[in-house]
Chain A
Amino acid sequence: MNEMTMPGRQIGRSLPRLEARDKVTGRTEYVHNLRLPGMLYGKIFRSTVAHGRIRNIDVTAARAHAGVAHVITGEDVRKVIPRPFYGPAFHDQPVLALDKVHYVGEPVAVVLASDPYVADEAVQLISAEYDELPAVFDEVEAMSSQAVVHDELKPAGTFPDLKHLQGRRNTNVALDFHLRRGDVDKAFATADRVFEHTFRTQQVLHLPLEPFVSVAEPTGSGITIHTASQSPSFVRIEIARLLGWPENRVRVKVPYLGGGFGAKLYIKLEAMVTALALLVQRPVKVALTMEEQFYTLTKHASTFRIKSAVNKDGRITARHCEVWWNGGAYADIGPRITQKSGFTAPGPYDIDNVSIDSYSLYTNLPPAGALRGFGIPQLVWAYESHADMIARELALDPVEFRRRNILREGRPQATGTLMRDAAIEAVLERLAERLDWNKSFDRGSGTVRRGRGLGIGFKASISPTTSIAIVNVAADGSATLYCSTVDMGQGSDTANAQVVAEVLDVAAESVRIVHPDTDVTPYDMATLGSRSMFHMGNAVRLAAQDAKAKLAALAAELGLPPGSNIPLPELFRRKYGMQAGNVIGIGSYVPTYESPNHDTGQTSNATPYWMIGGTAVEIEVDTETGHVRIIRIINVVDAGKPINPKIVEDQISGAAVMQLGFTMQEKMLFEGGQVTNASLADYKIPSILDIPPMISEAVDAQQHDGPFGAKGVGESGTFALSPAIANAIEDAVGVRVTELPITAEAVYRALRTAANDPLEDA
């Protein structure tokens, strides 16, 4: 037997992804390829104003266009969904605009036709008139602006810390989160030095190469939704709520995804296709174009003012964090980012006196939600840039400054929760070692200067959330896993198969995975926030252990001695007299959690586990153009004990490349709320030629309550790349960039300004 087929020792195997062959040979199922008999295609007519009351929508010409089956507006939707507002935190988002539009690109009407191109032509024939209202685009201005995006706040009721916002008017604040620890005022008053800086990040988006797509199919007794979603269980519950149906009349099926990154969470097109399909009683598909992704979900732009009190030996004694998150027109999951990520805003440092004010703001821009890191990269950008700026001012080595302040195992984080299984120090030290930090470094000369920099960040897992898994052992001994984790490219099928295989002592390749189908696979909160390996991994382990225990019980029932190695087919044959029956193992996992105190943000149990990610870079700046060449990137994370080391490495490097785009190039540009670069021609994501040499590794670590010591890793590579690059640029050429992206133009402009010769048009 070779290693590929040998049972046992399945954990720590770099097993190639189970689906890889099907994917590269074009056999993998995607919703984009699904066609149902009688299916209509929907194309969306979108708002052209950023904020306005709808005066009139003229669909006459579109309805008359040859081949058009139906034209549907927001008022029509009410016939099947009387209160058509959805969202995970606020019920603020209508299926199609009602009364008002809140951003340019908001869906206003849909044309249905059996030919999508006919539908698209007809969309061009729709016109709408709006009474324009003042709009607000900047997150800091939104705090006090006269322009108010929503007339009234409508919390969903799901989250206790949003309930007090019910019915609030004349505000754009969708959540304010506060944390108070120690005596910040006193520490600032007695500090040797005080540093204050403001950092900004830009609005970017996920851009999965598979754009959003959903199909709804009315059945006699309910509705089936085929959708590229990261959260099938949420979709089922939310669609059932909108329709006033029991969950079991809504079936949600999810095949593989061509990327998600946090975009395909909660409700995106699912409510729209449901309403359309029920209105016309035919299957309806809505598949967005690449351009339309720019109008659907984005990453929060942010402003972070950070202020630190530091004593003369380089210890941080107090930190005050003010963060404003630009949530766009609909809250989506933004309020969770404001709180969940907000409480890590002081960084992985041991600071006795901390205050945090974190605000989720509505603006008239496309909505923002979760994007690979859930707000953490925006925070790390600020606190790790700030760290180097302080170290530089104090003439301290940046690594040494971090060592003096680092949050060590067992010490309380800003929430008061004690750090456990958080290899922050190990990550920092490994970065310094990999970077040869203590060795001399060729700093370049003339117009080409070299620098290096690093950063470390951390993230709490979302909590408390539930995963349930079923392991079915058939009469021939083969095992099938039923779970609602969505494999969107992160390799969860393979890792979950390895967990089942380890427990049942079979080869991981032999385990079959049943993809999310809410009629078949049990509940899972969602595939997000690097939660699946820990939460679902634990549920899968428990389900496999349950199956194993039931097999042992069956053996005992048949009079076999404990630990009998009877082949499973023989066991089933003895029980049922033939190849028949099965053994079902069930695993359910929900970690413990304690809600933070509303006024102080303090809790003894803020998170089930911590994710740690650090990046170090060497770069070269062309001082005559501002071009930054990245010589190498080193990513080090704490992922616990990797189940599949190769997939972990790919997750780290993939996350880093994504963040590299957000750091160096990507930015959604707007004119009066209208995106002006909504295509892959104008919006520059990294291509294969833009990826520098990279090392990605996990430190030797163990998550004590993770499945076989593992925990999540999908986001950790995004945390610290941006400040590492900005720190390296200052190291190279002495200029500090405080706003993303760090384009060549931005660096060049900063160099000219530093040389007292600013570029004229600035």
Chain B
Amino acid sequence: MKPPRFDYARPDSLAGAIALLAAHNGDAKVIAGGQSLMPMLNFRLTSPRLLVDIARIADLNHISAGADGVRLGALVRWRDIERHPTLAKLHPLLVEATSHVAHYQIRNRGTVGGSLAHADPAAEMPGIAIACDAQIIVVGRAGQRTIPAADFFVGALMTALEPDEVIVEVRLPPWPGERHFAFEEFSRRKGDFALAGVAVFYDLDGQGRVIDPHIGAIGVTSRPVRLNAAEAALAGRAVDEAAILAVAALADDGLDVAEDIHAPADYRRALLQVLLERALRRAARLPDAEQTQ
């Protein structure tokens, strides 16, 4: 199939884009890399009257780092993150998660802002935003606002964005050099959306006990989530095998795990638990699974 008929505009300024979106009152969509929107158009799952291409808008493809953390412009592509000279040091969790995004062709075109706005429950970037307490900067007719990731993802493919708003930047809080972290996901084929995925990071106090653990999960519920029970169980503990098993056993605690044609809920829960075990082991730099068999 080909997309239904639509108009196309490529404004040079953010103000121009916002004006177009506002004028169409929900009947226009922003297009950047087009890696989610184009398939939806071709399958005719959506039929906006206007596509507003933001590719020509200046200053949306910056990657910068400072005392307040890492800032990624909405037009930053996965390939930009992979190739960036210092990002692997500045935010290694982001870089590791990005390596799981789809295939080369998609990584060459897909954007950070597009992934956040599309809000697929199994996508990596929304999961990183949730796990890291990212701030999402959006601009609309009413001006700029900053939306915490926790408030941004409302449901499957649903966000807090207003129809006239454009994501301009995502801010990830500062990343200390000594931080423990890991990202794990499981998909049916290489590059497919995750059946389940886990992002973990924490710091250690002077006694080797976990401070402020963050555990995010993708693919298991209608939106990326924090695993609150597992985080609470991990906080204040030294990370040994016993702690890992105890924490991972709480992985799906309180979650309404989703089922779809690719996997039933029980298998997703099992995957979530084992991925969390693996992520915790890797974050703690412990050896792989115990010789249990």
Contact A624–B289 (Cβ < 8 Å): yes
User: Within the complex, which residue of B263, B264, B270, B291 is in contact with A445, where a contact is CB–CB below 8 Å?
Assistant: B291
Within 8 A of A (CB), among B254-279: 261-267, 270-271, 274, 277-278
Given contacts A289-B1, A446-B288, contact A689 B190 (CB under 8 A): yes
| A contact patch SS | loop
Within 8 A of A (CB), among B157-183: none
Contact A687–B191 (Cβ < 8 Å): yes
Complex CA distance for A679 and B263, rounded to whole angstroms: 17
The 5 closest A-B pairs by CB, nearest first: A761-B266, A689-B190, A447-B289, A624-B274, A759-B266
A727-762 Cβ-contact flags toward B at 8 Å (1 or 0): 000000000000000011100110010000001111
Within 8 A of B (CB), among A689-710: 689-690
| Least CB distance, A628 to chain B, in whole angstroms | 12
Complex CA distance for A625 and B262, rounded to whole angstroms: 14
| Least CB distance, B259 to chain A, in whole angstroms | 8
| Least CB distance, A445 to chain B, in whole angstroms | 6
Q: Chain A residues near B293 (CB, 8 Å)? A: 446-447, 449, 623
Q: Chain B residues near A446 (CB, 8 Å)? A: 288-293
Judge if A566 is at the interface, Cβ distance under 8 Å: no
23 example contacts (A-B, Cβ-Cβ < 8 A) are as follows A117-B2, A446-B289, A446-B290, A446-B291, A446-B292, A447-B288, A447-B289, A447-B293, A449-B293, A624-B274, A625-B186, A682-B262, A684-B192, A686-B189, A689-B190, A743-B188, A744-B186, A744-B188, A745-B263, A745-B264, A748-B270, A749-B267, A762-B266
Complex CA distance for A687 and B270, rounded to whole angstroms: 26
Judge if A681 is at the interface, Cβ distance under 8 Å: yes
Contact B288–A665 (Cβ < 8 Å): no
Complex CA distance for A761 and B252, rounded to whole angstroms: 15
Judge if B103 is at the interface, Cβ distance under 8 Å: yes
Q: Chain A residues near B292 (CB, 8 Å)? A: 446-447
Q: Chain A residues near B267 (CB, 8 Å)? A: 745, 748-749, 759
Complex CA distance for A679 and B192, rounded to whole angstroms: 14
CB-based nearest A residue for B186: A625
Complex CA distance for A752 and B273, rounded to whole angstroms: 14
Q: Chain B residues near A686 (CB, 8 Å)? A: 189
Judge if B39 is at the interface, Cβ distance under 8 Å: yes
Judge if B6 is at the interface, Cβ distance under 8 Å: no
Judge if A91 is at the interface, Cβ distance under 8 Å: no
Number of interface residues of B (CB under 8 A): 29
Interface size class of A (residues with CB under 8 A): 20 to 34
Judge if B8 is at the interface, Cβ distance under 8 Å: no
Q: Chain B residues near A752 (CB, 8 Å)? A: 270
Contact A689–B291 (Cβ < 8 Å): no
User: Within the complex, which residue of A289, A681, A760 is in contact with B39, where a contact is CB–CB below 8 Å?
Assistant: A681
| Least CB distance, A688 to chain B, in whole angstroms | 9
| Least CB distance, A617 to chain B, in whole angstroms | 18
Complex CA distance for A100 and B290, rounded to whole angstroms: 60
CB-based nearest B residue for A759: B266
| Least CB distance, A345 to chain B, in whole angstroms | 32
| Least CB distance, B13 to chain A, in whole angstroms | 34
Contact A761–B274 (Cβ < 8 Å): no
Judge if A676 is at the interface, Cβ distance under 8 Å: yes
Within 8 A of B (CB), among A645-699: 665, 669, 676-677, 679, 681-682, 684, 686-687, 689-690
Q: Chain B residues near A289 (CB, 8 Å)? A: 1
Complex CA distance for A744 and B196, rounded to whole angstroms: 13
Interface core residue of A445, A449, A676, A759 (most chain B CB under 10 Å): A759
**Extra inter-chain contacts (20) besides given A624-B289, A677-B261, A759-B270, CB under 8 Å:** A117-B2, A289-B1, A446-B288, A446-B289, A446-B293, A447-B288, A449-B293, A624-B277, A625-B186, A627-B186, A669-B261, A684-B188, A684-B192, A686-B189, A689-B190, A748-B270, A749-B267, A752-B270, A761-B266, A762-B266
Complex CA distance for A686 and B270, rounded to whole angstroms: 25
Within 8 A of B (CB), among A587-644: 623-625, 627
A435-461 Cβ-contact flags toward B at 8 Å (1 or 0): 000000000011101000000000000
| Least CB distance, B183 to chain A, in whole angstroms | 16
Q: Chain B residues near A447 (CB, 8 Å)? A: 288-289, 292-293
Given contacts A445-B291, A624-B289, contact A689 B189 (CB under 8 A): yes
Contact B289–A679 (Cβ < 8 Å): no
Q: Chain B residues near A623 (CB, 8 Å)? A: 293
Complex CA distance for A699 and B72, rounded to whole angstroms: 58
Q: Chain B residues near A677 (CB, 8 Å)? A: 261
